[in-house]
Structure 1
Amino acid sequence: MSRQPAAPPPRGARTHRTRPRSRLRGWARHHRAMCLDSARRLLRAPIGSLLTMLAIAIALVLPAALWLALDGARLLDAELEESATLTVYLAPHVEEPQAARIDEALLAHEAVGRTRLITAAEGMAEFQQALGLADALGRLEENPLPASVVVTPRDPDPAAVRALAAELEAVSGVDEVRLDLAWLERLRHLAELGHRVALALAVLFGGGVLLVVGNTIRLSVESRRQEIEVVTLIGATHAFVRRPFLYSGAWYGLGGGLLAWGLLALGSEWLAAPVAALAASYGASFRLPQLGAAGSATLLLCSTLLGWLGAWIAVSRHLAEVRPR
């Protein structure tokens, strides 16, 4: 007895399984096609595209350069904070063995990073060397300077340093604790001002990028008005019409970011030698900070997103004005 062939599955069931997958493939194909087509359109007008990207790059260079400057200032700030110290003056009657014990007691404090004991004799020697009055000070019958301990706190925050100073003054054998935090507070205020200026410039020039890309995309929308009207008549959605312009804006932003990255690299190389020479004249070594991999990726991502956002704003605004005739 022959077997009957199996009945094919209902057409509706097969369509139900394949339709989402085919839609996804069609959506991906259209995205790929619009991405390549928008890149080809930019290449057909290289001068205009390059000028637009250059305008975007110029708008991005200043906040990025200020960001790099603040990054270098943070490194310098960290080095200066490490130099924040307390000077603990011991009582005049404290001898060297007792001063050494007090130094060990201060070092054992949980908020103290390191200490340096300066005996009365060492203090007098440094004083004579600083003033150049070795002969006059050598005639003194006894050393009027007390021993002292230079304390480097673990936490350079001004409030924590003040609290530490109050605790160290209560140690037996300590006569006075002196600290100078005015310069550190001024440095913190300058750093906060720099961060706010950088943020304001980033927002301001980011708005400039949006305007540049938006104006360019608006002109592109106007030049393709008839094409947009035709595809709208046959049922194209706004997302379908908007897609190529969004890719164009992203390409503009990415190109502007690459140009800005190149300008920053050239500027850093150009200024590296004078900055190194200036730092060497002060007996220090300082190198201009570089963007690095993370900074470069952040710059390119922000520029691409700004280009995409500027295109989206421009297209959404002018697409509502385009009506099929």
Structure 2
Amino acid sequence: MTSTPPPQRRGARTQQSRFSSRLESWKLHHRAMAIDSLRRLLRHPLGSLLTMLAIAIALMLPAGLWLTLDSVRGLDAELTQSATLTVYLDSTVDSAEAERIHQAVMAQPEVIETRLIDADEGLQELQQSLGLDDTLVGLDENPLPFSIVVHPDDVSPQTMQATADYFAGMAGVDEVRLDLAWVERLRQITELGNRIALGLGVLFGLGVLLIVGNTIRLAVESRRREIEVVMLIGATHAFVRRPFLYSGAWYGLGGGVLALLLLGLGGQWLALPVTSLAQSYGADFTMPSLGLGGSTILLFCSTLFGWLGAWLAVSRHLSSIKPE
């Protein structure tokens, strides 16, 4: 004799079975709509490619500016590490006194390396930097004093300024030059560029929404009769909206892939002049790239913008469609 399950258990199993069936149908419909929307894009390759290219350009400009600023930040870090203090001694200081001051400077804990330059060596370096060859050799008297080039441990502007003020107060020191002012200007320009890049990112993000929205709007209008028919037989707005959302996501993803390709080509094009500029300042620097993390973020944002642009366009036009 078999026992039948209680009604409550049978009802729970039935409800669970219905939920599983609905979930499976929902998954199958999403998969079918994703494949169908991709096929529709591939049926019109030229139009789809132009739309994706417009999205790629809109994404590439702020991303390229951000990469350029990242290059400047990397160059800034390289140049800052090579920042120095130049301590000029009084013209009356002889070689013995200059060596004593040099030893006092070396003894400071914040100093990692120093170099004492005498008057003759300083004159030779001046000739080489100005390209005057032996023009200055005929001077009756060498006007240059002893100098000490100091490489500090901490190259932050505040610490270097405090170190320069300390050296300036030492006996026999005439002047201390801080070779970091132009680096600070570079940092200020970089900060301005960051804000410009953020503003352009927002503006071009809105541009992606408009591009995808206009494309999806035309697709909705071309399938207006089909939409009216499925709405007459009871289709919900979510059901009708789904294929267009996938179309927008495909547009965004394709635009993101094209943007990565264009950024890669642009990076290769700019690599040589940027490296040459860095080497002219004595820095070893290479062009940065988005990398795996940055590429993933770019693709995610482009897909999200495409999906959001499609959602806005379809939602607006579905409210105006009245099936008859």
TM-score when scaled to structure 2? 0.82
Which of 123, 127, 134 is 2:123 aligned to? Answer: 127
Equivalent position SS for 1:95? helix
Partner of 2:151: 151
Partner of 2:116: 118
Q: Distance in 2 between matches of 1:75 and 1:46?
A: 40
Equivalent position SS for 1:151? strand
Q: Distance in 1 between matches of 2:159 and 2:78?
A: 18
Identity %: 59
Equivalent position SS for 2:152? strand
CA distances 1:196-220 after superposition (whole Å, capped 9, x unpaired): 2222222222222111100010111
Residues 167, 323 of structure 1: alpha-carbon distance in 2 compared, 3 angstrom cutoff: farther
Alignment of 1:21-170 (within 5 A): 21-89=20-88, 92=93, 95=97, 98-106=100-108, 108-109=109-110, 112=111, 114-118=112-116, 122-131=118-127, 132=134, 133-134=136-137, 136=139, 145-146=145-146, 148-156=148-156, 158-169=157-168
Q: Distance in 2 between matches of 1:266 and 1:28?
A: 39
How many angstroms does 1:134 deviate by? 4.4
Matched AA of 1:130: L
Partner of 2:4: 7
Residues 148, 287 of structure 1: alpha-carbon distance in 2 compared, 3 angstrom cutoff: closer
Residues 254, 210 of structure 1: alpha-carbon distance in 2 compared, 3 angstrom cutoff: same
Equivalent position SS for 2:177? strand
Q: Distance in 1 between matches of 2:274 and 2:238?
A: 51
Tell which deviates more after alignment, 64-73 or 241-250: 64-73
CA distances 1:272-301 after superposition (whole Å, capped 9, x unpaired): 556667777888765443333223222222
Q: Distance in 2 between matches of 1:196 and 1:274?
A: 25
How many angstroms does 1:8 deviate by? 3.2
8 A Cα contact 2:80 2:180, kept in partner: no
TM-score when scaled to structure 1? 0.82
Q: Distance in 2 between matches of 1:52 and 1:236?
A: 29
Matched AA of 1:150: V
Equivalent position SS for 1:115? strand
Residues 183, 281 of structure 1: alpha-carbon distance in 2 compared, 3 angstrom cutoff: closer
What stretches of structure 2 of length at least 5 have no aligned partner?
128-133
Partner of 1:258: 257
8 A Cα contact 1:249 1:311, kept in partner: yes
Residues 168, 96 of structure 1: alpha-carbon distance in 2 compared, 3 angstrom cutoff: closer
8 A Cα contact 1:85 1:153, kept in partner: no
Partner of 1:309: 308
Equivalent position SS for 1:249? helix
Q: Distance in 1 between matches of 2:78 and 2:22?
A: 58
Q: CA RMSD in A?
A: 3.1
Alignment of 1:281-292 (within 5 A): 287-292=286-291
8 A Cα contact 1:83 1:152, kept in partner: no
Q: Distance in 2 between matches of 1:150 and 1:174?
A: 14
Matched AA of 2:67: L
Equivalent position SS for 2:107? helix
Tell which deviates more after alignment, 163-172 or 222-231: 163-172
Q: Distance in 2 between matches of 1:32 and 1:196?
A: 41
Matched AA of 2:312: I
How many angstroms does 1:80 deviate by? 1.6
Partner of 2:235: 236
Q: Distance in 2 between matches of 1:54 and 1:324?
A: 35
